[in-house]
Chain A
């Protein structure tokens, strides 16, 4: 295992000059806030949605970081901000040694070749009027890498073979394909520019159960063959556990716990991580009958008005007095683990 970093340490670490050579991405104190506007004639800001509110993590080359959490936790916005498709309000994004936070469109262009996105909905993310060949080859044309017709066709064929599509499928349209095949088309398109980092936003959650495993296995194969690095965003903790080396659990715009896969699942420290794991049923009735059930109360509050103190305290079965007023920082516990909880703060916050 090459994973090493965690948020708290990253926030205090010196800048990129000393970044370890195998580090591909570092996100420091990232915030993405959206203004909430009201009024049709006189527009005024009535609030701020803090979709991502101080997220730090680092990722090593060839690793997979899982980002999990329930809707509204900021996991997708974090992914979009890394790609600079959502504008960071503050913080730093360092990708392959370069601070890309302030890059404009022109300077982002070559960077985009190195990081690509795979979307959740294989129906909405493919242009229905384009043939599969055009969809997969489009990034090559956009970036002026298509070359002559022969090499372009060859490259598209190669990409299709890589994701397990047959060559004769190139002349067909997306509607002729099933969900799983469409997701393969989306992956082939993402791979066209030979990126080093793929951000996968719920890439299997729209697929049928029997197809999910095909696509998960494809992701793992490709990672091995092409030395890819993944950020794998999903709400399904079982899938995330299967594919990730490290996992960050998010809640209301923050990382509440980050740890190696086995540590997180065998010994969750944050009460929210514990609750998430307990909420997911295991496909075995006999185990289910014996499993303890730590059900949390209520639902995720609005990101418009996050609770004071620890954001999880109104739902937390272990909340204490200080949790209502003091926001626990993400504290480094060593061994690649960090947790934001007063129960585990190292030496007290």
Chain B
């Protein structure tokens, strides 16, 4: 067994809000192996983005705070690093790609400078050399005519091209791990496929791992090796992708699969929605966060939170009841 590249253990992140203290991420643990693509899937408020931001130590403090846990990356606990050392990790060995490329790119700097910056910062490449490397990187993410586009500004790029620039920046220092938080949600479907295919291909080439944060079960099916499903700040089920889709063992996962229309299913098949509303993190029930919406919830579900337990090889879930397949 290879040593995992990243081990997240018991991560808990809380926010102080006007409505009280809420636990956005609650005792989350998972591993990412070298070269592996792991997807965290969940709806708004499930804690998937906060998990990613916690690993990068980008939680705004206050109001947020990483309360406890470890994130062991290549043998070092990221949560124990001082801010200077953490800055040496971000964009270097761990890179992040955000949903909205326009708000993550600096509108006042040329694209070339922004792609070259991590090389200058982390690798000490002189600017002239870094710009040369930036040109090569833009070529790798298939930006046509890269040489002449180095001097352009982000607003002169289309949405898809901006996300390619973000990927080029992320790849600049050959990171071991790329975290992509809803990288294509803002893009058109044909462009979405281009960008994710490119990202997958490049991580395969460089052997880096990918942590993909998404709400889209189709994207997970197409690109992920392993999946963690989050609900109300917790991982409720985790398994290899093929296993999860074939044998979902948590009622929420099962509910999600029944509620989405699929291009390949019988079009007349009625959708079976999950009743009720997503949980309010400020008013989570005492028991399982999904219990108010769960069709098979019993009294124990409403009293205490089910722990994540192994049900098969590499397959865990947090549910007290047997789930009908």
Contact = CB atoms under 8 A, between A and B. Distances in A.
A213 B274 contact: yes
Contacts of A71: 188
Contacts of B61: none
A138 B160 CA distance: 41
A66 to B, nearest CB: 12
A14 B22 CA distance: 65
B262 A213 contact: no
Task: Place the interface of chain A in its size category.
Answer: 35 or more
B256 A210 contact: yes
Contact of B267 (A265, A281, A282): A265
Interface in B1-54: 43-44
B277 interface: yes
A178 to B, nearest CB: 5
Contacts of A285: 221-222, 224, 241-242, 245
Contact of A178 (B222, B274, B278): B278
B143 to A, nearest CB: 11
B292 interface: no
B273 A217 contact: yes
Contact of A213 (B194, B224, B259, B263): B259
Contacts of A158: none
Contact of B158 (A208, A282, A299): A299
Interface stretch (B62-70, B175-183, B210-218, B301-309): B210-218
Interface in A293-309: 293, 295-296, 299-300
Contacts of A242: 261, 267, 271
B260 interface: yes
Interface stretch (A24-32, A140-148, A231-239): A231-239
A42 interface: no
Given A209-B256, A281-B221, A288-B221, A300 B188 contact: yes
Given A281-B221, A283-B245, A295 B197 contact: yes
A79 B294 CA distance: 38
Given A178-B278, A210-B274, A262-B267, A283 B190 contact: no
Given A209-B259, A261-B267, A283 B215 contact: no
Contacts of A276: 189-190
A277 B263 CA distance: 8
27 contacts: A70-B191, A181-B277, A208-B43, A208-B44, A209-B215, A210-B273, A211-B277, A213-B271, A213-B273, A214-B274, A217-B273, A235-B188, A238-B263, A242-B261, A265-B267, A276-B189, A280-B218, A281-B193, A282-B218, A282-B221, A283-B221, A285-B224, A285-B241, A286-B242, A286-B246, A288-B221, A299-B158
Report, nearest first, the 5 A-B pairs whose CB atoms are least far apart.
Answer: A281-B218, A213-B273, A213-B259, A70-B188, A242-B261
Given A180-B277, A211-B273, 6 more contacts: A212-B260, A213-B261, A279-B193, A283-B245, A295-B190, A295-B197
